[in-house]
Chains A and B, each alone.
Chain A
Amino acid sequence: MIYLDNAATTKMCEEALKEYEYFSCSNFYNPSAIYLPAIKVGVALDEARARLKKCLGAKKGDIIFTSGATESNNLAIRGSQREGKWEYVFSSGEHASVYNLANALKQEGKTVHFVPLNKGGEIDYEALEKLLTPKTRVVSVMFVNNVTGVINDIKRISQIVRQNAPSAILHVDGVQAFCKLKFSLDELDVDLFSLSAHKFHGPKGAGALYVKNKAALKNLVFGGGQEYGIRSGTENVPAIMGMVKAAEVIDVGANFEKVKCLKAAFLQELCGDEKIKFVGENASPYIAMMLFEGVNGETLTRALEEKVIVGRGSACSAKKAGNHVLSAMGFNLGQIKGAIRVSFDASLTMEQVVEAAKIIKTTYLQLLEKLK
Chain B
Amino acid sequence: MKSILLRMGELFLKGENRGMFENMLISNIRKKLEGLNYKLQRTRGRIMITDFDEQQEVVERLTKVFGLVSLSVAEEVDATVENIEQYVSTIKIGAKTFKVDVNRADKRFPVSSMEFAADLGGVILDANSNASVELYHPEVIVCVDIRNNGKAYIFDKVIKCQGGLPLSTSGRALLLLSGGIDSPVAGYMMAKRGLKLHAIHFYSYPYTSQQAKQKVITLAQQLCEYVDDIKLHCISFTKVQEEIHAKCAPEFMITIMRRIMMRVAEIIAKREDLGAIVTGESLGQVASQTMQSMTVTEDALESLPIFRPCIGLDKEDIVKIAKEIGTFETSILPYEDCCTVFLPKNPVIKPKLAKARSEEANLDVEALVNECIAGEEVIHIKSY
Binding site for B on A (CB under 8 A): 296, 298-303, 305, 319, 321, 370-371
Question: Are A302 and B209 in contact, CB atoms less than 8 angstroms apart?
Answer: yes
Instruction: Name A299's contact: one of B207, B211, B245 (CB within 8 Å).
Output: B207
Within the complex, the shortest CB–CB distance from A369 to chain B, in Å, comes to 9
- Is A299's CB under 8 angstroms from B206's CB? yes
B206 touches A370 (CB 8 A): no
Number of A-B contacts (CB under 8 A): 21
Contact status B209-A298, CB under 8 Å: yes
Q: Is the CB of A302 within 8 A of B205?
A: yes
Shortest distance in angstroms between A311's beta carbon and chain B's nearest beta carbon?
14
Using Cβ atoms and an 8 Å threshold, which residues of chain B touch A300? 206
Which listed residue (B206, B207, B246) contacts A305, Cβ 8 A?
Answer: B206
Q: Check A370 against B209 for contact (C-beta < 8 Å).
A: no
- Least CB distance from A317 to B in Å reads 13
List chain A residues, Cβ under 8 A from B246: 370
* A321 to chain B: closest residue by CB: B334
5 smallest beta-carbon distances between A and B, as pairs = A302-B206, A303-B206, A299-B206, A370-B242, A299-B207
Chain A residues near B206: list those with CB within 8 A: 299-303, 305
Q: Which of A296, A299, A305, A321 has the most CB of B within 10 A?
A: A299
Pairwise interchain contact A370-B245, C-beta atoms closer than 8 A: yes
On chain B, the residues within 8 Å of A298 by CB distance are: 209
Most buried by A among B206, B207, B246: B206
Residue of B nearest to A302 (CB): B206
DSSP class of A's interface residues: helix, strand, loop or mixed? helix
Roughly how many angstroms separate A137 CA and B247 CA in the complex, as a whole number?
62
How far does the alpha carbon of A305 sit from the alpha carbon of B207 in the complex, in Å? 12
Cβ of A323 to closest chain B Cβ, rounded Å: 15
Min Cβ gap A145→B in Å is 25
**Contacts A298-B209, A300-B206, A302-B205 known; 7 new A-B pairs at CB < 8 A:** A299-B206, A301-B206, A302-B207, A305-B206, A321-B334, A370-B245, A371-B245
Quote the shortest CB–CB distance from A366 to chain B (angstroms).
11
Cβ < 8 Å to A, chain B residues 170-221: 205-207, 209-211
Contact residues in A for B207 (Cβ distance below 8 Å): 296, 299, 302
What separation, in Å, do the CA atoms of A298 and B205 have in the docked complex? 11
With an 8 Å Cβ cutoff, the count of chain B residues facing the other chain is 11
Complex CA–CA separation, A138 to B209 (angstroms)? 40
A324 to chain B, nearest CB (A): 17
A299 to B238, CA, bound (A): 12
Closest to A296 in B: B207
A303 to B204, CA, bound (A): 11
* B201-257 with Cβ < 8 A to chain A: 205-207, 209-211, 242, 245-246
What B residues does A303 contact at CB under 8 A? Answer: 206
Q: How far is the CB of A371 from chain B (nearest CB, A)?
A: 8
Kindly report which residue of chain A lies nearest to residue B206, judged by CB atoms: A302
Closest to B336 in A: A298
A162 to chain B, nearest CB (A): 44
Inter-chain CA distance A371–B342, complex, in Å, is 8
Q: Which A residues are in CB contact (< 8 Å) with B210?
A: 302
Q: 17 interchain pairs (CB within 8 A)?
A: A298-B209, A299-B206, A299-B207, A300-B206, A302-B206, A302-B207, A302-B209, A302-B210, A303-B206, A305-B206, A319-B211, A321-B334, A370-B242, A370-B245, A370-B246, A371-B245, A371-B342
Report the Cα distance A301→B211, complex, angstroms: 13
Q: Scan B341-384; emit 1 where CB is below 8 A from any A CB, else 0.
A: 01000000000000000000000000000000000000000000
Bound-state Cα–Cα, A300 to B210, Å: 13
Closest A residue to B246 by beta carbon equals A370
User: For residue B334, which residues in chain A have a CB less than 8 angstroms away from its CB?
Assistant: 319, 321
Minimum Cβ distance to chain B for residue A309 (Å): 13
Collect the chain B residues with CB atoms within 8 Å of residue A305's CB. Answer: 206
B342: nearest chain-A partner, CB-CB: A371
Measured CB to CB, the nearest residue on chain A to B204 is A299
Min CB gap A301→B, angstroms: 8
What is the distance, in angstroms, from A321's C-beta to the closest C-beta of chain B?
A: 8
Instruction: State A296–B209 Cα separation when bound (angstroms).
Output: 12
CB distance from B2 to the nearest CB of A (A): 45
A303 vs B238: C-alpha distance in the bound complex, in angstroms?
A: 11
Nearest chain B CB to A198 CB, angstrom units: 22
Q: Which residues of chain B come closer than 8 Å to A301, judged between CB atoms? A: 206
Contacts of B209 in A (CB 8 A): 298, 302
CA distance A7 to B210 in the complex (A): 22
Residues of chain A with a CB closer than 8 A to B242's CB: 370
User: How distant is the Cα of A51 from the Cα of B7 in the complex, in angstroms?
Assistant: 72
Complex Cα distance A302/B236, Å? 14
Kindly provide the distance from the CB of B72 to the nearest chain A CB, expressed in whole angstroms: 46
**Bound-complex Cα distance A253 to B255 (A):** 59
- Bound-state Cα–Cα, A296 to B246, Å: 18
**Chain A: which residue is nearest B211 at the CB level?**
A319
B85 CB to nearest chain A CB (Å): 57
CB distance from B260 to the nearest CB of A (A): 17
* CB nearest to A369 among chain B residues: B246
Tell me which residues across on chain B come within 8 A of A371, comparing CB atoms.
245, 342
Contacts of A302 in B (CB 8 A): 205-207, 209-210
CA distance A114 to B246 in the complex (A): 46
In angstroms, Cα B211 to Cα A371, docked, is 22
What residue of chain A has the Cβ atom nearest to residue B205's Cβ?
A302
Distance of A354 from chain B, by nearest CB (Å): 23
Complex: A42 Cα to B342 Cα, angstroms = 60
The complex places the Cα of A319 from the Cα of B336 at a distance, in Å, of 12
Q: B335 CB to closest chain A CB, in angstroms?
A: 9
Q: How far is the CA of A362 from the CA of B372 in the complex (A)?
A: 26
Instruction: Flag B311-347 by CB within 8 Å of A: 1 or 0 each.
Output: 0000000000000000000000010000000100000
CA distance A302 to B205 in the complex (A): 7
Closest beta carbon of chain A to B241's beta carbon, Å: 9
Complex formed: what's the CA distance from A150 to B218 in Å? Answer: 40
Smallest CB separation, A308 vs chain B (Å): 13
Which of A300, A305, A321, A371 is the most central at the interface, judged by chain B CB atoms within 10 Å of its CB?
A371
| Chain B: minimal CB distance from A67 (Å) | 25
B363 CB to closest chain A CB (Å) equals 15
Q: How far is the CA of A300 from the CA of B22 in the complex (A)?
A: 54
A279 vs chain B, min Cβ distance (A) = 23
B residues 292-324 touching A (CB-CB < 8 Å) = none
